Structure 1
């Protein structure tokens, strides 16, 4: 039994989900539960109902998760499925495990090994990301930011204009911005924002991820065209959306 505490079998985990269902809605306590581990790249889990049965897929990075943390996850997933309030302590028990230093290192390694990134050229039809990065690095960071892989995105987007992936050392800028209709200072601003993610890495505190810290936001406003760039993006999101859907 001691081995099951740290390597719980799917049958034992399924029993926890039955317990969670009984807590939320006793009438559904006899619903068949199927639990399996799945090789997601990150810490991901899914739960769905099919043919009056519940299917749970747990990311295999959590295969060694203690049973008390599996219990927390079960109450979180079933609570979301039934749209009920999550019991006190469930989130904390689960978060304490996945936000541990050991799990963060395991997740990072797994993303590097399993994850695949689309890498395009940094030189667009209008703007060159290499040149933009170098200019910003010299102007705002005294050249201290190590250059990651720079690429234009595979498709035009309008919700996410830039993304920094620390696991793959990669910055992607939306192809929607590689246009003569987009001012240079807007592309500079989006790149500057992603570079700040390198200068201000994510902080894990009290089970939460903090990507945009107070220091991050203060430095972001040092960009020479911060106000105009923010306004341009806000005023042109509809135009970017139409272009992305063509």
Structure 2
């Protein structure tokens, strides 16, 4: 891991630490289950786990997304549940109690969770997010990314907000103006990197109790670690000059 990311993740995102990818978890759990099974992820809160068997004997296991953070012991209990074997249901109860923040997060209205659009006409934000987190060994999981709502760049503005990060929703939004063949990939990745830093370095209140410091010295130092930082900064100036000048 790069030295500049050797620190603990902020509490806001600590409950994402054990979260596995959908396919990764599906493969791992399926390997523990003896029966033919189809795993379906849900955003339910009242019924977090259920299993049904069709006429062909194939089982459908419906799991709340939070179970993707399950450890081996919990996964084994899930497998026994599906196969109809005896297991200690307290294992699952303890997991749900420990991961209640994650359960709550994945219990959001389905429309909100499914309205995430990350593939644009020219740019794939999910691909950019995965590349940046891998390239810089950023220890964050569960962060989502999407294009913000379309809008025109107009008026007498001197700046444009290329991206934003919501800690409450664990969501990065990117301005749709970047979905263009004229925008280099490194600039999109830089904006994604910048927003990930907001997840890692929450705003701090000034010592005198004044305004919040969003871009702390530590934040700026990390920002300059981006490999194409100079090119990205120069491109940003040219873009703003062209569209807002």
Using the size of structure 2 for normalisation, the TM-score is 0.48
Higher RCO (CA < 8 A, seq sep 6+): 2
- The structure in which a higher percent of residues are helix is 1
Using the size of structure 1 for normalisation, the TM-score is 0.47
Larger radius of gyration: 1
